[in-house]
Each structure stands twice: as C-alpha cells, then as structure tokens.
Chain A
Amino acid sequence: MDKAALTKYILDKFAGKVELLETGKVEPVFKLENEFLLEFCKSINSDETLHIDFLCNIAGVDTGERFEVVYSVASVKNKIRFDFKVVMAYENAEVESVQSIWPGANWHEREVWELYGINIRNHGNLTRFLLPDNWDQGYPMRKNWDAPDFVRMPES
C-alpha cells in the first residue's frame, strides 16, 4: 500500500477521530485524541488490511508549549509504516499504556515517563531505566529542566 492509499484508508476508517498532519515526511503522520489512543491501536493491530504488528518506537516530545507522544508503527507482513501522535497539555500529562497490544512498549514507555515525566496509565512497572535508581533531579528532557551541574551550550 502506498502513502496515498494508506492515508485514505486510515482517514476513512477512523473518520473524524484521526487527522493527517502535513509534515512532508515519506510516511504519513496522524494526530489523534488521547482518549482514542488505545482503541486506535487495538484497531490497527487487528485490522486485516493494516495488520500493524510492530511498534518501532515511542518518543516523547516537549515542544515548549505542550507534550507530545509519538508512536512509530509498522506492519512487517504488509510492509506499511506510519507514525501517529497524541498531544497533551503540560499539566497532568498522561497516556494509556499500549503494552496490551505490543508488549515491546514496556521499555519505551518507561523511557518516556522517566525523561519527560509523562505518566503512563496501567503500565505496571514504572521504574527507572536509563537514569540512576536514586535520581531525584526531575525530568531531564523537559525544555525547562535544570540541575546544578547542567551546562547549557552557549549561544554562538
């Protein structure tokens, strides 16, 4: 399935709930509501035409105004790739865990929680992963993060 056909298929199937973002990327990028996330994942996973069986990556993003969690998914069988993201405000940022669909999400979600402070609902094992176990200096990937020995690159 090429990009146009894939985009059309997803927009038709989830009409009104999913929106296409104009990114200029090779693969389409969709945006969806936080509440719809789990249902969407279940649906693309079980759909015969899409059959998304591989979660490549989950990335947190701090845009300076809000948080985003970006999911990159693929279908090994159908050779499809696309991204989708959920957008949320700074306050009480949280997303639902997608481990029930792709168990590999476990580590990615811990990373998002640990570095951005985005809570993962129903994760089950939200423990430190990349940072030292006794880390108490907040969430380092946030734009406004600071620590006593953190040195920002000077403006050139």
Chain B
Amino acid sequence: MGVIKKLPVYLEHFPGGGIVATSLDYVLSQSQASSIWYLLFGTACCAIELMATGASRYDFDRFGMIFRASPRQADLIIAAGTITKKMAPRLRLLYDQMAQPRYVIAMGGCTVKGGPFYYDSYAVEKGIDHIVPVDVYIPGCPPRPESLLEGCLTLQKKIKKQKIGDWS
C-alpha cells in the first residue's frame, strides 16, 4: 500500500498531476464506498436486526454490501451485540486481520456503551471503543434495520470524503 499512498505525492511533480491525483482519489473512494464488504460479527440480539437488514425486505445488497465470513476480504466490521470481556480479544484479533483501510460500525447500545448491562455487570465491555477505533455509532436496543442502513450511508459519506493519503 505504500506506493498507492505516495502516488499523489509523485503525481504532484508533473504538470496537471494534481488533477489526476484528485480524480484518482475520487474514483478510488467512490468505488470503495460503493462496494463495502462487511465481516459478520454478531454476538447477541442486535445480530438478528443485522440479519434482517441483510435479508430481502431491507436488502443490504443494493449498497453493494455483502457479508464475508473472513476478515481477509472485509473492509468493514459491524459489531452487533454484546461484547463481553472474554470476547473482546477475539474482536481485536479479527480487526487486526482485516486489510486496510478498514472501518468499524458499533451497532446497538451494548456495543456502544454496555447497553442494559452497563450496571451491575462484571462481564460486559463498556463500549468497544476500548478495543477498536469506531467510525460510526448506532444507538438503540436494538437499532432498527433502517438505523443500520442510515449508519452505513453515513459511513459511505465518510469514505467518499477520504483521500488516499488519509489511509492508515
């Protein structure tokens, strides 16, 4: 990825290179935003809403989103459901195995802040931002599929604004 990341810098040296670099940014971010493949990561009830979003009524596919059961080809992880302290290292491992650039959506109260298990619970992680960086938070218990779609649109907007140089 080093070369791609430095491409705009190389191009700047040529006359008109700036335009090429900007167009390249545009093409890449558009295509990236329109073909998000997400990693299946559902641990509790929110995952049911996630499944509903993927099914025919809400039809995730129209965003070009299909799920992958492997972190290697996924660029988004939707953490849907309660993340316990025992589960947290697995989430981190999957995140680390994903190719960059990668994004995280925290779906549901549990994932965002511990949800109904915030009080009196020793086992539930109080927010997955302790474990992985989160791009979009979706509140609700559980959030409706519409909320998840809205969250995905928000993420798409975010991706479209990105430049190649921002890739980390």
Interface residues on B, range: 10 to 19
Choose from A140, A153, A154 the contact partner of B122 (Cβ within 8 Å): A140
Interface SS majority for chain A = loop
**Size of the chain A interface, CB-CB below 8 angstroms:** 14
Choose from B86, B89, B119, B122 the contact partner of A147 (Cβ within 8 Å): B122
A 122-156 contacts with B by CB, 8 A: 130-132, 135, 137, 140, 145, 147, 149-154
**B86 A151 Cβ-Cβ under 8 A:** no
**A131 B123 Cβ-Cβ under 8 A:** yes
Give the CA-CA distance A30 to B84 in the complex, in Å.
36
Q: Which B residues are CB-close (under 8 A) to A130?
A: 86, 123
Interface SS majority for chain B = loop
**A150 B89 Cβ-Cβ under 8 A:** no
Choose from B89, B121, B126 the contact partner of A132 (Cβ within 8 Å): B89
B 22-46 contacts with A by CB, 8 A: none
Give the CA-CA distance A153 to B121 in the complex, in Å.
10
B85 in contact (CB, < 8 A) = yes
A-B complex: 8 closest residue pairs judged by Cβ atoms: A140-B122, A153-B119, A132-B86, A153-B120, A151-B119, A132-B85, A149-B126, A151-B118
